[in-house]
Structure 1
């Protein structure tokens, strides 16, 4: 009987110990994660693992530390300010706990950027932040600003105030990208400046006629200019000149991203200039900080270009020009914008084998494809063509072939014999169903002048003469060596012949 009691006590003791260990483990888990037991009313327990990263914010930015869970789930009057660039005042309460997600981290530094004339928000990383808010942008110098949201005019934004270079407006649902642009001034045809909104058809007095050609698509063939042209340097009035740097811009951006590019404009003349900015081909991507400015002799300006690629834009290569026009002269910068998918199925690269091609010549490019997906041995469609910076297409070809993971080949296009001298693109695009990727490389069409041909012929003649001299000297040297060896052999032969008796000795009679 006593033995049974002892066994019963041991079982009871084991159960008690198991219960204590279980309670300790549960308590330890809650202590590490910071979560409180779910209940009907919000908990007042402080969530110690919760973190808000806001190192790029200062000024009146809200304090997010040491707050209870109930406060973080329904935080009122949140302010985010960068004293150099701008501020956001939320008009509705924010649920920061839900916004943080499973890792309990809200990273405003990465997912909500306030910079020069820009609010850039990644809504997918901050769920629930699309609340009504007032936005203030600092350092604005526009005369009559327009509010843009995701690259289009914001129709539901409401102007609040504009003073001391601070522009303030409200939005009913904070999302995406916000920035300001100057309101275009009314155009005046006949003032010698091709202003934004004017074209060669609406105002031929101010805008030069666009080069002929154009239009993509079609199943191959050639589109040629009606008249071959060679770029000419326009006559500039004395004392008027300016320089733009760079005059060729190449950009590569992912969809839904923003970038700022600066172009330096310097007045190299002796007279003041008023320069007007206009953009063709990339009006929906590039937004100058100002559309017009003045420069005194020797003065420079760093013109800021705000470049935004909407998530709705297809991934492709976009081409255009930025015109810098004064009443006396016009200069331009060629621009190539390559828009890429964040997770593209294909990676395509185009590389020219020769960068300088004469009119009527053959353009060759090495095109490499990488299939990043899991599907293998399927047919893709490849289109490649020649494009200029006025978006004219000159030669186009299309091909279909099967791809495993990698594909590489050299493709060629023949240029029209009367194509204009200038800069061009070899554009290539691979597609499969509704998925595509594109790339390009640049080359120059240049005509060899009569002087160049003459110099080339002289070089060929000199090269041929040097080759002739080389082989002639080599032949003479060979003949000299042969003659020298022949004389030596002849001399040795004579010496040997003197040592040989003229008559063969007669054998004794007894041996005959």
Structure 2
């Protein structure tokens, strides 16, 4: 009973608004209500409901009462694919479910429902997809330590994540003189993985130094790179060096400290400490230096220490390489390692993703159930002229 009274009151209120607009606009236009309108509800109006009412859909009568006409070709905010499929019908590949257009199969975009918006807004549904990566690589960056006259092999695993054949082309940038790619082009079957062998060659005449470049893996629509750092050292060096950045410092923000552990090894077996020159360089993936300094240290058989570097304020975010080079008697040994300038973002775990998806689906189901319940419980009441006279809204 309370619901009936509530809906009756709402209907009277809407008609009161219509009557008010009629009186306020009588001087500028001739609007009249010759008979009561049937089928008035808090939803949409069809053109049949306006029998006996003069005026246009854009008249103040309709705009003031927020009443929409089903069949006018405009999908207004008060209409959806269930209440007015003529204006808000779903496009091909979508089905209407509880007033929402839902794709027959999951797509990777947010797709609006059919029917444009004109002064109202369109009804639509967000179709969420979790896309599969086209192909994946086993490495993001590589460090190759090689002496003059040596040849080494680097293995890289490529996986086709698609359900179709995938052709991949492999090339290099800035380090082509050091590489030999045996299969520069190959095709992977669906879900197939392949181990690609890449030979790294250092000629005797190559100058000992750090050489930066990229390995490029390209399909018809996607390109990926592996950053490569090739450290060419002297043949038969008397020293060796290793560098390691602790995990907590693999991400560092500009202006903060970067710490690394450095180990120097005397391979000559001199039996006494000798002085060596250590050169430190930090460069970005393109070879642009942001830090360069050096020092002299004495090494007996082994020397280990922690070195601190300050990343200059204003350094651009991205991947950087720390290069350590030691020189003794014109012989060079070196080591390098990659790190990131920037703030690390947490990658959600599999469980976190699963919980998030479950919660999202639960919200959708709850929303659809609630919408259907409201729609089922909603009733439409007619308000005729006698009701308005009784309520004192229209003069007898």
Q: TM-score range by the shorter chain?
A: 0.3 to 0.5
TM value normalised by structure 1? 0.37
TM value normalised by structure 2? 0.47
Larger CA Rg, structure 1 vs 2: 1
